[in-house]
Amino acid sequence: GGKIPNPIRSWKEAGFHHDIMDIISKVGYKSPTPIQRQAIPIGLQNRDIIGVAETGSGKTLAFLIPLLTWIQSLPKSERMEDADQGPYAIILAPTRELAQQIEEET
């Protein structure tokens, strides 16, 4: 429900923190893929999404960027103090192969 955010057209336009931009550069995405253009703005609003795209289209990065952006937004002192309190997120995958693929991409 509600207003769906506009898709991002470029990484620069998205205005991510430089650490996240470094990750994007490292994995080799020159510009967002269609699933990333649509899914990332929705994820940044902490909204649910069902996204369907072919293998290799960047779905993993599409859900990791909003997660990393949220973690990056936490005060550094809070991140350091809570480091031993457990994970920030748990990523579930329906198959072993997909879990291994996600591990390789992160």
Per-residue pLDDT tens for 39-96? 999 999 999 999 999 988 999 899 999 999 998 888 877 667 766 777 888 888 889 9
**Can you read off the two tokens belonging to residue 19?**
């650490």
What CATH number does residue 77 fall under?
A: 3.40.50.300
Nearest to 20 by CA among 56, 57, 58, 73: 73
Q: Is residue 75 part of a domain?
A: yes
Helix, strand and coil percent figures for the chain, each rounded to 5 = 55, 0, 45
**Residue 48 forms part of a structural domain:** yes
Average pLDDT (20-45) is 94
Residue 3 lies in a domain: no
Domain that holds residue 97: 11-105
The answer to the question of residue 65 being in a domain is yes
Local structure of 100: helix, strand or coil: helix
DSSP 101: H
Number of domains in the chain: 1
Residue 4 lies in a domain: no
Q: Is residue 6 part of a domain?
A: no
Q: What is the mean pLDDT of residues 26-39?
A: 94
